[in-house]
Amino acid sequence: MQSITGESMNPERQRADTINAATQAQPSMRLLLIEDDLEAANYLVKGLRENGYTLDHSANGRDGLNRAMSGQYDVIIADRQLPELDGLSIIVELRKKADRTPVLILSALGTVDDRVHGLKAGGDDYLTKPFAFTELLARIEALSRRASAQATETTRLRVADLELDLLARRVARAGRNIDLTAKEFQLLEYLMRRPDQVVTRTMLLEGVWNLQFDPQTNIIDVHMSRLRTAIDKNFARPLIHTVRGAGYMLRTPES
């Protein structure tokens, strides 16, 4: 029987070769594997754990999405064709929630169109089956390095003269500190990560309030009004705008 690596299944030799060839993972790294092929999953789980990773496994897309949304993983490895919810749908749902956890797609679908579709759905990398286990390790490590660099770069957000410090939980405009509630801070962060983009009520309900339905209240309007007062009052150029019939936008003055 052929393995996902395209070689005869010889776990002892494969694992020994992998451990000798690959750099050991940092013990703190936590992975989520979403794979319904149990033979392939068991092989990957054993190999990845032997390489120092902490690993959780889900055998279907729905359970995988629920685990992924916990936000506790450094990298997610998802098969494209899964029961209940396919791998690309998992990625789409995560990105809707502004979850930027790197996702490596595994798939037997390897045409250029397949790979492009996977990346456009929000995937960070695409590995076609069969593959070498050492290449899987290398790609996981690359995604982890990239995510760490991005996290360092995005601890501070800036749009025009508005600054948000995620670590200090501080907001300032033109050097003047602005006090916000926790929910207002979260709402502003969501807007600042999407400057000059229309943000709909549905996006805000899902991304800020974690609601999958419209509660038919003015909760968004109330918080947005308070946020707009805090951010734009006493400044010549407003940054937060209502887009009639669509939603809201944090607009840079030059746009």
The yes-or-no verdict on residue 31 having pLDDT over 90 is yes
* 9, 3 Cβ separation under 8 angstroms: yes
| Domain co-membership, 147 together with 176 | no
Q: How many CB atoms lie within 10 A of CB 78?
A: 28
Q: Which of 17, 45, 12 is nearest to 31 (CA)?
A: 45
Q: How far apart are CA 62 and CA 68, in angstroms?
A: 10
The yes-or-no verdict on residue 163 having pLDDT over 90 is yes
Q: What is the CATH number of the domain that holds 67?
A: 3.40.50.2300
Number of domains in the chain: 2
| Domain co-membership, 165 together with 147 | no
The yes-or-no verdict on residue 7 having pLDDT over 50 is no
Q: What is the CATH number of the domain that holds 210?
A: 1.10.10.10
| Domain co-membership, 210 together with 246 | yes
Q: Which two tokens stand for residue 39?
A: 């033979």
Structural domain range at position 222: 156-250
Average confidence (pLDDT) over 87-116: 91
| Domain co-membership, 180 together with 97 | no
Last residue within a domain, chosen from 152, 182, 209: 152
| Domain co-membership, 123 together with 190 | no
pLDDT at residue 161, rounded to an integer: 95
Q: How far apart are CA 85 and CA 218, in angstroms?
A: 33
pTM confidence score: 0.56
| Domain co-membership, 100 together with 163 | no
Kindly state whether residue 189 falls inside one of the protein's structural domains.
yes
Kindly state whether residue 59 falls inside one of the protein's structural domains.
yes
Q: How far apart are CA 87 and CA 74, in angstroms?
A: 17
| Domain co-membership, 163 together with 211 | yes
* 155, 167 Cβ separation under 8 angstroms: yes
Kindly state whether residue 3 falls inside one of the protein's structural domains.
no
pLDDT at residue 215, rounded to an integer: 74
pLDDT interval class at 5 (50, 70, 90): low
Last residue within a domain, chosen from 100, 134, 152: 152
Q: Which two tokens stand for residue 235?
A: 């400044």
| Domain co-membership, 48 together with 21 | yes
| Domain co-membership, 118 together with 193 | no
CB half-sphere exposure, 66, CA atoms < 13 A: 7
| Domain co-membership, 56 together with 181 | no
pLDDT interval class at 239 (50, 70, 90): very high
pLDDT at residue 20, rounded to an integer: 44
pLDDT interval class at 151 (50, 70, 90): low
Q: Which two tokens stand for residue 115?
A: 């790979």
Q: In the chain, what percentage of residues exceed pLDDT 90? A: 65
| Domain co-membership, 200 together with 128 | no
The yes-or-no verdict on residue 21 having pLDDT over 50 is no
| Domain co-membership, 123 together with 163 | no
Q: How far apart are CA 218 and CA 50, in angstroms?
A: 52
